[in-house]
Structure formats: structure tokens, C-alpha cells
Chain A
Amino acid sequence: MLGRLASQRLREIRQVFRQLPQVSRSFSTALNYHLDSPDNNPDLPWEFTDANKEKAKEIISHYPSNYKQSAVIPLLDLAQQQHGGWLPVSAMNHVAKVIEVAPIRVYEVATFYSMFNRTKVGKYHLLVCGTTPCMIRGSREIEDALLKHLGVKRNEVTKDGLFSVGEMECMGSCVNAPMITVADYSNGSEGYTYNYYEDLTPKKVVEIVEAFRRGEKPPHGTQSPGRINSGPEGGNTTLLGEPKAPPCRDLDAC
């Protein structure tokens, strides 16, 4: 009897959760297979710019000559910066050619890492951290505010091509949660920046977006006026003095 009750209750609880709008958890910006489209197909020519060719050479020189393929991630990153924040299939093919591996080996890497975008992103790609500390501190609201303000869905680009919103995992700024990262592709690979904006509120994040729209570069880091970097508001409260020397470092003292 009790058992049946319990299972009934369990089913009810499940039902409740089922009805919650399911937040789609797609980290990457594309499917795991490629579909030809006018702006993304293997026939489009793609090459590194001359400046980036030099950079690529420099990157490859970090690895032994018989392990060129080790350069795949930095080269994909370079290609992504050059191509306005995303990797068309012809760019991946070019990288494969440069490091002399079969294209599929590059596709494998590019599909594995969610920070390689395989569909178009905005000039400013806004990545909302969705991991637990940020989530507890309100990252869902931050994302909702962004999406509502920009009028897009996740991984969609605004009509003017300026913004897109994505999600990613913990960036190690949990102490300043919630935070977003702004990947700025507006100035090509030379002016590329990847900055964190921390201690956000839904209002703040919209202000930041608007600043970007105006072409400004709002100061990154914590947005809370009372904090310096990751320090507590109003200055340090603990560990104020010099630490005591550990007793056993001083061999004579032991």
C-alpha cells in the first residue's frame, strides 16, 4: 500500500518536472554534421590572410616538425578569429591542409570543442556561464534578459549581425558570479578580444550590450563598483597581516 502511494507520488513529481519548459542544452552552435549552404560549403575558397599565415607558421614552429597536427587547436582558433567568429567547412579544410592531416581529423576536433562555432555568430558573441555557481547567482535571469533585450533565441544572431548569445561552462570566475564572456570579433584577428564581465545583474548586462552597440569597449572585469578584481566589497577583511613563517622552513627552529 505504502509502496504504491510512494510510486504514485514519484510519478506526480516527475510529471511536474516534465512540464517545466525544457531549456535546450546545446553548447555548440551547430549540428554534428555539415549541410551545404551558400555561405558554408567546401567549394568556397578559404585561406589565411598573409599576416595570419605568418602567425600560423609561428604556431606550427612550436611543435616538432613530425607532429604538426598538434597545432590544430590554435590554428582553428586563428581561423575562427579571422572568419568573424565561426568556422566554415572550407576553413577547416584549409587547416587540415596546413597541418597535413585528413579533414575528418580536424572536424573531430572542431565538433568536440564547443568554443569552435560552426555556424555564424554575431560580431560580439556573448557567452553566458551556466554552471552551478553562476546559476545559483542568477545566470538564468542574465540570459533571459539578454535574449529578451536582443530579441533572439540562443545561438541566433541578431538581424544587424552584431550580437549572438551562447552558453558555456564555468570559466573560473565563480567568485564573481554571475558572469558572461564577450568574444569580440568586430576587428578581425588583430583586434580580437575575449573578456569577462563579472558580477552582473540583468540591468547591467543590458547596459554593457548597449555600450557595445555604440562601439564602446566597456571596462571588463567585475561590474560591482565596490570590488577590486575578486576581492571582497569594501576591502579585504581577512588575512590582513603578513603570514607567519612556517615553522619547519626554518631549519634551525626545528
Chain B
Amino acid sequence: MGLGHLASRALLRSSRLGASKPSHHLLRRTVVSTPELHNSEAAAAEAQPEPDLPKRTPVAGARVHFPNPDDAIEVFVDGYPVKIPKGMTVLQACEVAGVDIPRFCYHDRLSIAGNCRMCLVEVEKSPKPVASCAMPALPGMKIKTDTPIAKKAREGVMEFLLMNHPLDCPICDQGGECDLQDQSMAFGSDRGRFTETKRSVVDKNLGPLVKTVMTRCIQCTRCVRFATEIAGVQDLGVLGRGSGEEIGTYVENLMTSELSGNVIDICPVGALTSKPFAFKARNWELKGTESIDVSDAVGSNIRIDSRGPEVMRILPRLNEDINEEWISDKTRFFYDGLKRQRLNDPMIRGADGRFKTVSWRDALAVVAEVIHQVKPEEIVGVAGKLSDAESMMALKDFLNKMGSNNIWCEGNGPNPNADLRSGYIMNTSISGLEKADAFLLVGTQPRVEAAMVNARIRKTVRATNAKVGYVGPSADFNYDHEHLGTGPEALTELAEGRHPFYSTLSNAKNPVIIIGAGIFGRDDKDAILAVTEKIAKNINAVRPDWNGLNVLLLNAAQAASLDLGLVPESEKSIESAKFVYLMGADDENVDKLPEDAFVVYQGHHGDKGVYRANVILPASAFSEKEGTYANTEGCAQTTVPAVPTVGDARDDWKIIRALSEVAGVNLPYDSLGAIRARIGTVAPNLLQVEEREPAVFSSVSLRPDVKGTIGKAPFGSVVENFYMTDAISRASKIMAQCSALLLKK
């Protein structure tokens, strides 16, 4: 490096430190005109002026995190210096420098394969182009990404990739969002020299969700790495060699993973596409709406792609704290349930037992009349598992005004503990699970209850070799675990330190206990919670800097309902109820309901709740309304309407608001803003949208002593069928196919 260059860099740096921009330009100009720069190198520097510094922004918001500031190294990307931590690859360094390197096999959440060679760049002093994704950046490396060599290398690789690629973009579902298409436009050559015949590959059957056109595959092996590393099902592999190489399962094997849909997203070409979405729409016709998933309590961030009034597909949205960039198959594919078995008109059951369509006015009048005829303590309200916070607030306020306090959310059990927030949310937070080094799962099978939480646990187990102990019925895990027992006795043993697994827990630095929401339905719930808290205390899981005692909820509505205090006054109220308001509650056991009780079902699907209903009030589904949901870690997020509601359906809270007026007990809010302000007075954390509000007090220190004793009954599994857990997924044809084909019998 010539002196001139050095000087210019030193000046540049000092100017970046202190001086404002104009003077910085000035300084540079002075340097360029100094006589010592009149040598050949200076001429080169002049011909290639330093890139415009402020323009460089890291690609896709790539963040640089320095675990140890001493480990920072400096490399030059196209002459532009960047500081990166040691151990980053050349490709990552380029990203930080704002240069997008084309790639197919590299994916930042998967291991590095380095087999597509698309990411070739030139590195000074290296005799040939290097694969930047697999090359660690070294101090002072001079990386060149736009030289003729780099460009030619990419064009060459692209030509090879396209050699056996069918180029059937017009009939390919990936068309328009295909990495190969985009990158061949951006980096490829405009001609090819291959005139022979192309190879073809037999399509594989991976099940009802993933469609394969294996001739399009470019053998990047992303799908194989995803299945092995993230989904934890070793079904896919690279078979054969050379030009005969193909991706497959060798033996006929469906992909039985709850995350299998994600291979559709990571496949850079159209080899793996969505079967239900096949030939349904082109991606540029779709309107994307950023929303929240409600199929489980994780609240995965999704994008709902719709065309006109129809939801065409659901894709994940990046959220490092919740779902990273994956979603479960239920989240991705249950959308077709939104089109089937919908309730679109208010209906009243006539004397002959048949439903008759009526107007909203008549339906509400009937409900208002009946509710005034029963005693306040005979009124019961149940919120369903898909309810948003606004409608639960409205329902609670309405029934309270009618004099009843018997209102709860299904899945919370007869006697929920809503007093301490830490007693029902995931205190560690989902991303916090990655810091754990030992897990104790109590009566929960996260793989079916919350697939994204399970993916996190698996990630942790893989990364840190964390030990997992599990108490509950025998279940399917995709990581190593120790089955400690099926019933609560195992917990007692752990609490007393008699169990061999106890030492693993107590030696762990950050132990995590996860209690499944399935125990909410048990009579000895409090005793079990008390015992678990004792374990937590003994193994020091709850400390000021670490709260490892968690509850894993099952439904999207649960956390918000407990935040809002939807706790019934009496546990048995349903047995003496005369008026029951089911707000989308389909799984509540209504067998004990008296014969003459009047049941109002407000919801969007003609599901189980409708069988017993006297009046049906059609409501909008999560894709059609704006609503607040709190996920299992207590993070409030809002859905956004992506499509219009069907028929005459209305938003839940609006129905209740209208009903309150007909019933003569006006609720004091009539806009979303007003009802949210009301929520703010009860549970302000629900207004902190997209920001997780940790619970302040830990239940360990505050819960009163529990008298009850622990029962003998073993823990049950709460989710029998992963693919069908709520009204929408039960109405979905795709989910029905999945449960027929993929469930392990």
C-alpha cells in the first residue's frame, strides 16, 4: 500500500471521527491533489474513487454483533473498509459492507455446504475465485465483488446450473419469486452454450403439503440440511453422484415433520413448492398483509397473501424473538379452512330444530330478550381459543354489566390462576430458551402443542447439548430426551432431590422448567404447580437474572384472557346455567349444561359449538379483523384484516357492543381505539404491541401455600391431532389430508 493511500485512509478515518460531512469532502480533495499522489497507484485510486460511504447500508439490515470487541478485524470489500468480528465469512463481511452476494446453498440458519459456487468472489492474492460463503474472512483481506473475474465466475456457474435446469418458468409456481430466476437475470450471462439434452429426475412424493418437481432441483441441499438440522427428521438425502445426483428419500417416505412446509420457502428454485397452492395464483397478483398466526399460542408472525376476498397462502415473516423465519405446517396450510363451513348470516333455531336465517336486528333482539329473563348468576360466557383481547374485554364487560361474572376462556380450566402474570406465561421468553442448558418438560409435548417453541428447544439442544427431562405420556420428540415418568410422582421425587435427573437440573446454570397448559384442567393443578415451584426453587431456576419457570400455553386467546382476568366466579357455573354465550368456544364441554339452557354461539365456523346453539351470530375470523393477541411469552401482537369478512359477519367486539345496546346496557366504547383504551385500564401490557413485557413478580415468592395433594393420575396428552386443534383447522381439507396421511398411528 502506497503512502498516499495510507494517508488518505488515515485522514478519512479522522474525518469520520470528528468532522462534519462538508469538511470531509474537502479533506479528501486536498489529499488527492497532493504531489506525492502523482504516482501510478494514485492514478488508479483516482480512476476508482472511494465508494460513496454513506450509501453503504448492510444488506437486509444485517446486524453486526461483536461478542468480544478485541476480536474485530478489518477487511476491505471493493476497497471499502468494514469492521467485522472474527469468524465471520467473506460473504457475511460483504453483507455488512452492503454488497449482496448471489447465493443458492448458503442460508444463515443452516450449516454451510459450499456446493453451489454461486457466491464466488475474487480475493486479492488468491490464485482463483473463492466461495465466499465458506471462506472465513481474514484480517486485511481485500475482497473484490465486481471485478471481471468475479462476474465471469458467476456467469459460468450460472451457465452450469442452467444446463440441467428445465427453464419451465412459465409453468412453475416459483416463477416471480425464484432465486434462480432473479439471480440469472442479475448475475447470469445472456446466452448459454449447452445444446445437448437435459437430464430429468423422477418426482418424489413428500406428502400432501410439498409438491416436488425434482428436475428443477439444483442440488443446493438446503432442504436436506433443513430437514436434518431444524426439523429433526432425517428423511431427505442426496442420492447418487455426478450428473445422476438427486434429492430424495430413497424409500417411499412422506416427510412427517410439523415444519415440513418451510422447505418450500428455503428451496431457491421451484423444485419444492406448495401442493395446496399449486397453480392457484401467481405471486405478483397477491396482496400481502402482515399479520399474526392464531393456530397456537406462539403467535408466529405471518404474511397473509390474498387475492380479492380469498386467502391464497400464508408465509412466515421474520421475527427473531418468536418464530425466526419458520412456521409450522398448521399455520401455513390451515387457511383453506377459512373458506369452508363459514357462518355468514345470523340464524335462530326454530321449533323444528332447524336454523333459520334472520336479520341482525331480530337475532340481537332475541338474545337481548332472553338474557333479561334469566337470573344474573345463571349467565355464563365462554371465550373461544381464537378470541382476540378486544372481544374478550367486550364480552367480560357486557356480562359484568348484566350482573354475571361467570366468564372464562376455554383451555384455562375451571379455576385459572390469573393473579400473577408470571404464573401463566413463558417467563424465559421463547428466544431466551436458547440460553438454557437443562430443560424439564412437565406434561407438555411441545412438538404438537407449540411447534415453534419445540424448534427453539431443539436448536438449543443441538447447539449446547442441553439435557431434556420429560414427565408425561410417551411422546414423539425430535431431540434426545430422558423420559422421567408419566405421572406427578416423578415431580415429587425431583422436588425431594431423589430422582437421578435432579443433579442434571441442579448443576445447570440456566435450568428451564416448562409446564404444559394441559394441567390446567386437572383437579390437583395447584398442588402440581406448587411442587414444580419447589423444584424451581431447589434448582435455583428463578433468580433476578433468570426466570426459568414457564408455562406453555395452548391457545392464542389464553394469555390475553388471563391478563384480562377472565376467571369464573364459580367452578360449576355451567351446570346451572340458563344462558350461555359461546364466543367461538367449540371445545368447551357442554354435556353438563341443563336441557333448557339458551345457547348463543358467536363465531366464524359451523363447528362443534353450533350443535347446541339456539342463536348463531356470525363473526369474522382472524384474517378478517383487527385484534390483539398475546402469545405464550406474553408478547402482544395485532392481526390486520387481509380479506373482507364473509356474508353478514361482523367483528366480535362490534357484535357484543351492538348487543349491549339492544339489551339496554350500553358499553362505553364504540371504536377500536376506545376499546383498547379500556383494555389499557385492565391489562396495559396488551397495548405494548410487539414488545414483550416481562412479568414483574415471580409466582415462586408470592403464591400462598397450597393444601391439596397431588393425584396419582398420569399426565395426558392435550393435543391428540396436531393438524386439527381449532375450528379453522378442523374445517380445513388440507389439514384433514395431513391427519389422514401423516399422523403416526
A-to-B contact residues, CB < 8 Å: 28, 31-34, 36, 42, 89, 101-105, 107-108, 111-112, 114
- Residues of chain B within 8 A (CB-CB) of A34 are 250-252
- Residues of chain A within 8 A (CB-CB) of B627 are none
Chain B interface helix/strand/loop/mixed:
loop
A104 touches B236 (CB 8 A): yes
- Residues of chain A within 8 A (CB-CB) of B249 are 33, 104
B713 CB-CB contact with A under 8 Å: no
- Residues of chain B within 8 A (CB-CB) of A31 are 202
A32-B237 contact given A42-B251, A103-B251, CB 8 Å threshold: no
A112-B250 contact given A33-B204, A104-B234, A105-B234, CB 8 Å threshold: no
B250 touches A104 (CB 8 A): yes
Which of A32, A104, A111 touches B235 (beta carbons < 8 Å)? Answer: A104
A104-B237 contact given A33-B250, A34-B250, A34-B251, CB 8 Å threshold: yes
A108 touches B238 (CB 8 A): yes
Instruction: Name the segment of B239-247, B263-271, B412-420 touching the other chain.
Output: B239-247
B250 touches A111 (CB 8 A): yes
Nearest CB on B from A43, distance (A): 11
7 A/B residue pairs, CB under 8 Å, sorted by A = A31-B202, A32-B244, A32-B248, A33-B239, A33-B250, A103-B251, A108-B239
B251 touches A89 (CB 8 A): yes
Which of A28, A101, A107, A114 touches B250 (beta carbons < 8 Å)? Answer: A107
Residue of A nearest to B202 (CB): A33
A112 touches B240 (CB 8 A): yes
- Residues of chain B within 8 A (CB-CB) of A105 are 234, 237
B-to-A contact residues, CB < 8 Å: 202, 204, 234-241, 244, 246, 248-252
- Residues of chain A within 8 A (CB-CB) of B250 are 32-34, 89, 103-104, 107, 111
Nearest CB on A from B1, distance (A): 41
- Residues of chain A within 8 A (CB-CB) of B251 are 33-34, 42, 89, 103, 107
In Å, the complex CA distance between A167 and B684 comes to: 75
A32-B234 contact given A111-B239, A111-B240, A112-B240, CB 8 Å threshold: no
Which of A28, A33, A36 touches B248 (beta carbons < 8 Å)? Answer: A33
- Residues of chain A within 8 A (CB-CB) of B236 are 104
Which of A28, A89, A108, A114 touches B237 (beta carbons < 8 Å)? Answer: A108
In Å, the complex CA distance between A33 and B206 comes to: 13
In Å, the complex CA distance between A188 and B599 comes to: 76
In Å, the complex CA distance between A102 and B246 comes to: 18
Nearest CB on A from B721, distance (A): 25
- Residues of chain A within 8 A (CB-CB) of B235 are 102, 104
The 10 closest A-B pairs by CB, nearest first: A102-B234, A107-B250, A104-B237, A32-B240, A111-B239, A32-B239, A108-B237, A34-B251, A112-B241, A111-B240
- Residues of chain B within 8 A (CB-CB) of A33 are 202, 204, 239, 248-251
In Å, the complex CA distance between A108 and B251 comes to: 11
- Residues of chain A within 8 A (CB-CB) of B237 are 104-105, 107-108
In Å, the complex CA distance between A33 and B252 comes to: 8
- Residues of chain A within 8 A (CB-CB) of B244 are 28, 32
Nearest CB on A from B247, distance (A): 10
Extra inter-chain contacts (17) besides given A28-B240, A104-B237, CB under 8 Å: A28-B244, A32-B240, A32-B246, A32-B250, A33-B239, A33-B250, A34-B251, A89-B250, A102-B234, A104-B250, A105-B234, A105-B237, A107-B237, A108-B238, A108-B239, A111-B250, A112-B241
- Residues of chain A within 8 A (CB-CB) of B240 are 28, 32, 111-112
- Residues of chain A within 8 A (CB-CB) of B204 are 33
- Residues of chain B within 8 A (CB-CB) of A32 are 239-240, 244, 246, 248, 250
Nearest CB on A from B97, distance (A): 37
- Residues of chain A within 8 A (CB-CB) of B238 are 108
In Å, the complex CA distance between A108 and B239 comes to: 5
From A32, A42, A104, name the one whose CB has the most chain B CB atoms within 10 angstroms: A104
Nearest CB on A from B591, distance (A): 45
- Residues of chain B within 8 A (CB-CB) of A28 are 240, 244
In Å, the complex CA distance between A20 and B251 comes to: 36
Nearest CB on A from B535, distance (A): 31
Nearest CB on B from A73, distance (A): 14
Residue of B nearest to A31 (CB): B202
Nearest CB on A from B609, distance (A): 43
Residue of A nearest to B204 (CB): A33
- Residues of chain B within 8 A (CB-CB) of A42 are 251
Nearest CB on A from B658, distance (A): 57
Nearest CB on A from B148, distance (A): 27
Nearest CB on A from B543, distance (A): 34
From A36, A42, A111, name the one whose CB has the most chain B CB atoms within 10 angstroms: A111
- Residues of chain A within 8 A (CB-CB) of B239 are 32-33, 107-108, 111-112
In Å, the complex CA distance between A107 and B237 comes to: 8
- Residues of chain A within 8 A (CB-CB) of B248 are 32-33
Nearest CB on B from A164, distance (A): 20
- Residues of chain A within 8 A (CB-CB) of B234 are 101-102, 104-105
Nearest CB on B from A46, distance (A): 14
In Å, the complex CA distance between A111 and B244 comes to: 10
In Å, the complex CA distance between A34 and B237 comes to: 13
In Å, the complex CA distance between A112 and B252 comes to: 19
Residue of B nearest to A102 (CB): B234
In Å, the complex CA distance between A33 and B237 comes to: 11
Nearest CB on B from A18, distance (A): 10
Nearest CB on B from A20, distance (A): 14
In Å, the complex CA distance between A239 and B234 comes to: 58
- Residues of chain B within 8 A (CB-CB) of A111 are 239-241, 250
From A32, A36, A105, A114, name the one whose CB has the most chain B CB atoms within 10 angstroms: A32
From A28, A42, A89, A107, name the one whose CB has the most chain B CB atoms within 10 angstroms: A107
- Residues of chain B within 8 A (CB-CB) of A112 are 239-241
From A31, A33, A101, A102, name the one whose CB has the most chain B CB atoms within 10 angstroms: A33
Residue of B nearest to A26 (CB): B244
- Residues of chain B within 8 A (CB-CB) of A101 are 234
- Residues of chain A within 8 A (CB-CB) of B241 are 111-112, 114
Residue of A nearest to B241 (CB): A112
Nearest CB on B from A13, distance (A): 13
- Residues of chain B within 8 A (CB-CB) of A36 are 252
In Å, the complex CA distance between A74 and B544 comes to: 55
Nearest CB on B from A90, distance (A): 10
Nearest CB on B from A30, distance (A): 10
Nearest CB on B from A61, distance (A): 24
